[in-house]
Structure 1
Amino acid sequence: MAWDDEYDVVVAGSGAGALAGALAAASDAPAAASDGLRTAVLEKTSLVGGTSAYSGSAIWLPGTRVQERAGIGDSTESARAYLRALLGDDGNAAHREAFLETAPELVEFLERDPAIEVEWRAFPDYFDAPGRIDMGRSFVPLDLPLERLGELAGLVRPPVDRDRTGRGHAPGRPLAQGRSLIGRLLLAITATGNADVRTGTALTDLIVEAGRVVGVAAMTAEGPVRLRASRGVLLAAGGFESSAELRALRGVPGGAAWTMAPDGANTGDAIAAAMRIGASTGLLDQAWFCPGLAMPDGRAAFTLGFRGGLIVDGTGRRFANESLPYDQMGRRLASAGDPFYLIFDSRSDGLPAISIPAAAPEEQLAAGLWHQADTLADLAAKTGLPAGALASTVERFNGFAAKGVDEDFHRGEDPYDLYFTGGKPCLVPVDRPPYFAAKIVLSDLGTKGGLRADPDGRVLSGAGRPIPGLYAAGNTSASFTGPVYPGPGIPIGTAMAFAYRAVQDMRRNQS
């Protein structure tokens, strides 16, 4: 086999999980007294970070010294109780224990690097279950000044609003949230001197010799390349949410146009390459769902933190607590009948919620995605909603707001409901014309079904045996949380933890 380049480890993808795995590989390992491994990071697009760069960068890694410093009462034991209450023990206990065991070790490893600076920040866990931390246990990276990144700043994917319009980072502003996480990991990886970050390099196939994955085939602007990976290949390249064909084939609700994935990314290439060599899959109909605000460019904006208004389906009636954590609300959308509208009034200065990217009311109205009327009857006529049902729904909701009790869906009774209102009521009357109706769609932060892997990230064959040399993490793998989204930062936290475990397995099992 002729190779264009040879590495110890090849990582496909450049989100938080991929870069955590690459850092674990490229760094020296003091405990094992071993040097860093020569590592390649392959990114299909021209920018690093994937959907992680768009994220709020919450990292759900419980029982670590970050939570201990914050004094919030978190522990591995409480996180175990929480996950067990939500997920049970059927089929996920080994992955749960591996994740909980790895979290403190991973955080200690990350914080040894001066580039990685994080802090706990309040954001409630998503379910009222034993072991929950009401103000949350996730943590986030500190903002990162652009000048600290230097030339590397141009590699980091900018915020979603600027990225979708072809703009880079805002001049003079530090990288925040997901951009900071990606920037910090990129700084740390580069400082090892053992890693190549190869953008514009799309994985096309896995190369197998004697039953072992020994490298990858990839396509670049200059043509195809073959890269050897003597220790292993880690697939952490996201899911398939941007492929309308695969979504339809696998029954994933929503639509490729409404996902939050970056343009040109997350089309399932890594999953498909592994399936061609016999890898098994699971949870292919699942995603990390969320409400989306329909935007004039045909895309959707991730929408959360409803401070007012109410959401109705095509019957003109409410069907859920609008302030539910976004995955739970997304699943209510998936089971209800569209179209969906957020109904609000002039109490709000624009949308009574957070949308990412932000929505300009005048542009939304001009595009026909928002409707405005002086009466609910006129609003119903403009949206096609049943006028009588809409009026009675708003009247009933306003009655709940007056009493402060949502008798239908219990909005405002959970700490998460009040998190974005600063503790103020989220049951706010809709009674001050003009009235508005904003079109809501079912969006997602990515699919969460993919390759089946064991607790060390080893991809499993159809027979349930590890495929030598092949590993998966993040949305390229089937999430051990199944259809449940336990808390903010679970996608990133689990991706980082299992990528880290995968590299430790590579180090233990030298070829």
Structure 2
Amino acid sequence: MSETAAASTPLLPEYDVVVVGSGGGALTGAALAAKAGLRTLVLERTPLIGGTSAYSGGACWLPGTEVQQRAGLPDSTEGARAYLAAVLEKPDQDRVEALLAQAPRLVSALEADPLMEFEWIPFSEYYDAPGRVPMGRSIQPKAIRRDELDPRVGAILRPPVERDRAGRPGRSTLSGGQALIGRLAAMVLRDGGTIAVGHDVSGFGRDESGRVTTVLATGPDGPVEVRATRGILVAAGGFEGSPERRSLHGTPGRAEWSMAPRGTNTGDVIDAAAAIGAATDWSGEGWFCPGLLQPDGSGTFTLGFRSGLMVDQTGQRYGNECLPYDRFGRVMAAAPERTPSWFVFDSSEGGRLPAIAMPEGDPAEHLAAGTWVQADTIEELAVAAGLDPVVLTATVERFNGFAATGVDEDFGRGTDEYDTFFASAGSPNKALVPVAQGPFHAAQFVLSDLGTKGGLVTDASGRVLDEGGDPLPGLYAASNSTASVFGSAYPGPGAPLGAAMAFASLAVEDMLR
């Protein structure tokens, strides 16, 4: 749909709250605002809602809630505080404390609504640090059937990534990020909110007192100007889709390798806020991951390597392939010769990639495009991949020796809980499986990301600050449109979504004061 959607009437000239973006953070803010009785408008640039959140597994790193208590987990706000203290470098402690205090309140408020229900999912956190919860503390919305929601939601909900990129519709049962976006959007509509797709926000206006009150956008029928009496919440993603902004801010990777939906998250809204005085911070870089290179030049988020090994252009390993994806992505980014890399694996899984790639693609199409190569021997595989046969053979033999002893003497693969979370076949180390069954395969990998994490500077209430450190009245921000509360770290599954939701809800609370 390329018209105003989920609304039976044209846009009003004025609302209480205007939300820019439609991901998990944006819709959390919109749902809470609408539930509080505020006239709420959501503006989405594309014809579909959900952004990268709709592609995600829906994990939310929101510690210390009733959901973890119901699951009997040894989780607490205090434990999460200790964990972040060990993981984060030079954090803004006021924002950290705001996140920790808000997480249980937010989940309670959302679960009080019949449209929202969370559950714990086992998924290991990303650092071996004090306060870590065994098998993780992340939660996610329970799956729900599409026909249980307002049909207007299904009409504009972005499909899962593997279907969206192929131009296919979504599934009948919504799970993960689909369930999160679907449930939140249904809450917005039920409580009288408006979701308008196809509206590209280009600027903001301030009144004579300096308060940010106006959103400028282009809709299907041309330019529109909407006023917000309580506040404007910017939660429109980062700048990962803009090659120019990535280059300007020194962000590793490429726009075509990012997981953001095509045509989204180009940073225009961040720059529009900066144009009226908002402060920015680009130091967080991105939420990185190894990306399986596709025949069309895109990259796809990959995690959970069960076997195989990653080598650079010299044919040598350079890290623990079973590291959490952001941590391995940062290892990839540390040296130019590591991109593209080659992931070498055997036929023990029938020629399929021994990992979770979203989407993986058709092996035959990969082979035809040269993004994968195949050979009967490691030496022949090296030649096909343009690698030194002697070096690659020695690398594989050394790795297979580690698999036999169960000890990765080079990078310690299999020594952490996360390393073995997806593995099961290796012995004596589950994460170390020999590359021994021909024919052999190699797949090209690039540095992908789940979004950038630099942008508008905000305080503990989600208020956007100016260059002097003072709030810009009326303007709030959350999600990847902001400089991340986690800095360059990625604490655990759902950290981007959890923080986006928490600070969006804090922004709405401030608007209600």
- Asked whether the two chains share a fold, i.e. TM above 0.5, the reply is yes
Structure 1 residue matching 2:155: 3-state secondary structure: helix
Matches within 5 A, 1:77-226: 77-88=78-89, 90-149=90-149, 150-170=151-171, 173-193=172-192, 195-209=193-207, 210-226=209-225
Segments of structure 1 that go 5 or more residues without pairing to the other structure are 29-35
Match of 2:5 in 1: none
What corresponds to 1:504 in structure 2?
509
Contact 1:4 1:226 in 2 (8 A): no
Q: Is the 8 A contact 1:251 1:285 kept in 2?
A: no
Question: 1:435/1:286 Cα in 2 relative to 1: closer, same or farther (>3 Å)?
Answer: same
Matches within 5 A, 1:30-429: 36-88=37-89, 90-149=90-149, 150-170=151-171, 173-193=172-192, 195-209=193-207, 210-284=209-283, 286-336=285-335, 337=337, 338-349=339-350, 350-422=352-424, 425-429=430-434
Residue type matched to 1:12 in 2?
A: V
Tell me the residue number matched to 2:4.
none
SS for the counterpart of 2:14 is: strand
Task: Describe the superposition over 1:300-328 as per-residue Cα deviations: whole angstroms up to 9, x where unpaired.
Answer: 11100000000000111000000000000
State how far apart, in whole Å, the 2-side matches of 1:290 and 1:354 are. 12
> After superposition, what is the alpha-carbon deviation per residue over 1:188-231, rounded to whole angstroms, capped at 9, x for unaligned?
111112x1100001111001112110120010110000001001
> Shift of the alpha carbon at 1:24?
1.4
Mapped partners of 1:91, 1:429: distance in 2: 41
- State the distance in 1 between where 2:419 and 2:34 align: 42
Alignment deviations for residues 403-440 of structure 1 (CA, whole Å, 9 cap, x no partner): 01111111111111111125851211012221111000
Letter in 1 for 2:92: N
Distance in 2, matches of 1:75 and 1:489, equals 17
Question: What's 2:6 paired with?
Answer: none
Q: What code does the residue aligned with 1:418 have?
A: T
Instruction: Note closer, same or farther for the CA distance 1:473–1:448 as it changes in structure 2 (3 Å cut).
Output: same
Q: Which residue of 1 aligns with 2:24?
A: 16
Verify the 8 A CA contact 1:345 1:433 in the aligned structure 2: yes
Q: Contact 2:284/2:483 (CA < 8 Å) preserved in 1?
A: no
Please report how far the alpha carbon of residue 384 of structure 1 lies from its aligned counterpart in structure 2 after TM superposition.
1.1
Q: Aligned to 2:419, what secondary structure does the other structure show?
A: helix
* Residues 116-159 of structure 1: CA deviation (Å, up to 9, x unaligned): 01100100110000000120000111111011122321111001
CA displacement at 1:283 relative to structure 2: 2.6
> Residues of 2 paired with 1:217 and 1:499: CA distance?
21
How far has the Cα of 1:91 moved from its partner? 4.2
Q: Which amino acid aligns with 1:457?
A: G
1:430 to 2:435 alignment: yes
8 Å CA contact 2:82–2:131 kept in 1: the answer is yes
- How far does residue 285 in structure 1 lie from its aligned partner after superposition? 5.9
CA contact (8 A) 1:283 1:482 kept: no
In the TM superposition, what whole-angstrom CA distance separates every residue of 1:339-389 from its partner, at most 9, and x where no partner exists?
Answer: 300001111231010100132211111111000011111111111111211
Which residue is 1:32 aligned to? none
SS of residue matched to 1:9: strand
TM-score (norm 2): 0.95
Q: What TM-score does the superposition give when structure 1 sets the normalisation length?
A: 0.95
Distance 2:324 2:340 in 1: 21
- 1:415 alignment partner, SS class: coil
List runs of 5+ in structure 2 lacking aligned partners.
1-10
Q: What is the match of residue 449 of structure 2?
A: 444
2:144 maps to a residue whose letter is: L
Aligned to 2:447, what secondary structure does the other structure show? Answer: strand
Q: Secondary structure at the match of 1:378?
A: helix
Q: How does 1:416-495 map to 2 (within 5 A)?
A: 416-422=418-424, 425-495=430-500
Distance across 1 between alignment mates of 2:272 and 2:152: 33
> 2 CA distance for matches of 1:263 and 1:117?
30
Matches of 1:43 and 1:304, distance apart in 2: 29
Rounded Cα–Cα distance in structure 2 between residues aligned with 1:444 and 1:326: 9
AA at the equivalent of 2:286? A
Distance in 2, matches of 1:339 and 1:266, equals: 24
Contact 1:10–1:215, Cα closer than 8 Å, also in 2: no
Kept in 2: contact 1:252–1:284 (CA 8 A): no
SS in 2 for 1:44: coil
Aligned equivalents of 1:295, 1:85: Cα separation in 2: 37
Question: Once superposed, what is the RMSD of the aligned Cα atoms?
Answer: 1.2
1:346 & 1:225 partners in 2: Cα distance? Answer: 57
Q: How big is the shift at 1:330?
A: 0.4
Separation in 2 of the partners of 1:94 and 1:284? 19
Deviations 1:216-261 (A, max 9, x none): 0010110000001001100000000000010011110000000000
CA distance in 2, matches of 1:287, 1:146: 32
1:157-211 Cα shifts (integer Å, max 9, x gaps): 00111111222113xx301111111001011111112x11000011110011121
Residue type at the aligned position of 1:153: G
- Secondary structure, in 3 states, of the residue corresponding to 1:464? coil
Matching residue's letter, 2:449: D
Alignment of 1:6 with 2:11, yes or no, is no
Cα distance change on mapping 1:69 and 1:427 into 2, 3 Å: same
Q: Does structure 2 conserve the Cα–Cα contact (< 8 Å) formed by 1:250 and 1:285?
A: no
Q: Is the 8 A contact 1:4 1:225 kept in 2?
A: no
Give the match's secondary structure for 2:136. Answer: coil
Deviations 1:87-111 (A, max 9, x none): 15x3411111000000111001100
Instruction: Give the letter aligned to residue 435 of structure 1.
Output: F
Q: Tell me which amino acid in the other structure corresponds to 2:160.
A: P
2:173 partner SS:
coil
Paired residue secondary structure (1:358) = coil
Query: d(CA) in 1 for partners of 2:255 and 2:476?
Result: 26
Instruction: Decide whether aligned partners of structure 1 residues 142 and 422 sit closer, same or farther in structure 2, where only a CA change above 3 A counts.
Output: farther
Contact 1:252 1:285 in 2 (8 A): no
- Whole-Å separation in 2 of the counterparts to 1:118 and 1:76: 18
